[in-house]
């Protein structure tokens, strides 16, 4: 996780204990805030208009606000538990998995299984980060495919058409073939030996993604049609899909401890957390609501797919794709650092580099294969959010607080609160995963049936 906030130059981790009280180099308040925003704003933000559609024009924003409050509270709980345990163990910092491991050691009947707690957190971190990578493959293919197919008709006029969506005028090959075209470039990207070499590109990516978001906001706000006649509350069966997309967007809890651990004055981190996540929650609610009000029932899995067929907004898609492409390496670094080193340690030094590159290639191919199997952006986002993000963001932190302060008199009200939050996460995990898988299967069956019909018609025509 340190990859998301690289270590500043200077003394080793044990010596850096003094930095944590502000007597050395480390990330400043503003630097930490920027990293926090960067860790929470990505493809999930662009999928929130569809999430609001699934929940309803009124229920959606209210639910996003409630989920934002709960997510920030869970982040604060995680930081509080980490500080308490690191002080108790006389360690300068802990990772998410280590915090769960040492928290479980406070409970006698869990102590012998504490290592499993760390491994479970690492497992869900791997699933979540690889899930992000799958989403990135689908996002890149969908947006680039749309730009290519509409290239011949792209103009300088950015008027909204009657379907509120980019017109597809020259059909090209399937989006899954686009994923395969991206595969060699992504493999070469993750071969980068050190993330510091990507720092200049990452800075450019952040700038172009910010500019793209500004243009998306501008178009959405200036093209809302009145009167607005959209459902205030969505269908109950679609609400789990809202949950999955929303928790996918809010799943920035994995970057919280690395950022707090690297901050020059970590006692100020809670203020950074509240300010940063306040900004993130505002962006989520505003873009989700405005995007749905602008595009209505035609909203796609990503709001970029609804932008008009003009060069300015086609450039927005391309720029955002560039940012997501660079971000792939950052997200991929986490599972790679968990999975690859133990394997490389078992081979002779002369084969270490070759094995490292081979395993990276296999992991990228694996994520691409999953994306090819489920090439629907909205369903992939909802499935990843429900399946793994719900555990990291909602289920584990409250349970960690219970076991951490088990022997120190945690109040019954706090215990009840933690249980309720964990139950919300579990219900969201079960219903969201079920509905997402059900819709994926239904879509596969529908696609198979349509393919069969097309073959019959083609044969009859011949």
Containing structural domain, residue 93: 29-157+170-460
Q: Does 13 fall in a domain?
A: no
Q: Does 314 fall in a domain?
A: yes
Helix or strand run (H / E) with residue 277:
helix 269-295
Q: What is the pLDDT of residue 166?
A: 52
The chain-wide mean pLDDT, for the chain, equals 85
Spatial distance between the Cα atoms of 172 and 195, rounded to a whole number of angstroms: 35
Contact between residue 288 and residue 180 where contact means Cβ atoms under 8 Å apart: no
Q: Does 68 fall in a domain?
A: yes
Q: Which residues contact 287 (CB under 8 A, 6 or more apart)?
A: 45, 46, 48, 49, 213, 216, 217, 220, 303
Spatial distance between the Cα atoms of 454 and 462, rounded to a whole number of angstroms: 12
Spatial distance between the Cα atoms of 218 and 235, rounded to a whole number of angstroms: 29
- pTM, full prediction: 0.83
- The CATH number linked to 366 is 1.20.1740.10
Q: What is the pLDDT of residue 15?
A: 36
**How remote is the C-alpha of 263 from its chain's centroid?**
23
Q: What percent of the chain has pLDDT over 90?
A: 51
Question: What value does the mean pLDDT take over residues 132-141?
Answer: 92
Asked whether the predicted pLDDT for residue 161 surpasses 70, the reply is no
Q: Does 45 fall in a domain?
A: yes
Q: Does 431 fall in a domain?
A: yes
Q: What is the pLDDT of residue 21?
A: 39
pLDDT in tens, 173-222: 788 899 999 999 999 999 987 777 777 888 888 888 889 999 999 999 99
pLDDT in tens, 45-91: 999 999 999 999 999 999 999 999 999 999 999 999 999 999 888 88
The total domain count for the chain is 1
Q: What is the pLDDT of residue 37?
A: 85
List phi, psi (to 5°) of 411: -65, 150
Q: Does 21 fall in a domain?
A: no
């Amino acid at each position: 996780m340190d990859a998301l906030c690289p270590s500043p130059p200077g003394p080793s981790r044990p010596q850096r204990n003094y930095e944590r009280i502000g007597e050395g180099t480390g990330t400043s308040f503003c630097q930490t805030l920027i990293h926090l925003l960067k860790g929470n704003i990505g493809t999930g933000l662009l999928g929130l208009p569809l999430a609001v559609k699934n929940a309803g024009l009124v229920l959606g924003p209210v639910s996003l606000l409630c989920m934002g409050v709960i997510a920030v509270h869970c982040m604060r709980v995680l930081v509080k538990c980490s500080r308490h345990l690191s002080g108790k163990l006389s360690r300068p910092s802990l990772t998410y998995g280590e915090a769960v491991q040492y928290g479980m050691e406070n409970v006698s009947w869990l102590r012998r299984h504490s290592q499993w707690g760390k491994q479970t957190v690492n497992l869900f971190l791997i699933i979540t980060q690889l899930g992000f990578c799958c989403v990135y493959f689908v996002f890149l293919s969908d947006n680039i495919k749309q730009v290519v197919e509409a290239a011949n008709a792209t103009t300088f006029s950015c008027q909204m058409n009657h379907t509120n969506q980019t017109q597809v005028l020259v059909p090209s090959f399937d989006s899954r073939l686009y994923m395969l075209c991206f595969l060699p470039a992504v493999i070469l990207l993750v071969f980068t030996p050190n993330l510091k070499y990507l720092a200049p590109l990452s800075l450019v990516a952040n700038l172009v993604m910010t500019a793209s978001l500004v243009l998306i906001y501008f178009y959405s706000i200036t093209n809302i049609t009145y009167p607005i006649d959209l459902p205030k509350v969505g269908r109950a069966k679609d609400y789990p899909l809202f949950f999955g997309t929303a928790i996918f967007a809010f799943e920035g809890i994995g970057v919280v401890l690395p950022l707090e651990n690297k901050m020059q004055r970590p006692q100020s981190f809670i203020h950074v957390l509240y300010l940063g996540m306040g900004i993130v929650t505002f962006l989520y609610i505003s873009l989700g609501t405005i995007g749905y009000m602008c595009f209505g029932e035609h909203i796609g899995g990503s709001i970029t797919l609804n932008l008009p067929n003009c060069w300015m907004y086609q450039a927005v898609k391309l720029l955002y794709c560039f940012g997501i492409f660079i971000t792939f390496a950052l997200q991929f670094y986490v599972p790679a650092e968990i999975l690859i080193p133990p394997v490389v340690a078992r081979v002779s030094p002369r084969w270490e580099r070759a094995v490292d590159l081979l395993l990276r290639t296999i992991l990228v191919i694996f994520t691409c294969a999953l994306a090819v199997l489920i090439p629907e952006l909205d369903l992939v986002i909802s499935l990843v959010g429900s399946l793994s993000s719900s555990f990291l963001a909602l289920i584990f932190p409250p349970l960690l607080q219970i076991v951490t302060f088990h022997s120190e008199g945690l109040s019954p009200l706090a215990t009840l609160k933690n249980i309720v939050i964990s139950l919300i996460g579990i219900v969201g995990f079960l219903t969201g995963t079920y509905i997402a898988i059900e819709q994926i299967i239904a879509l596969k069956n529908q696609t198979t049936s349509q393919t069969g019909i097309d073959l019959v018609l083609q044969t009859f025509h011949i």
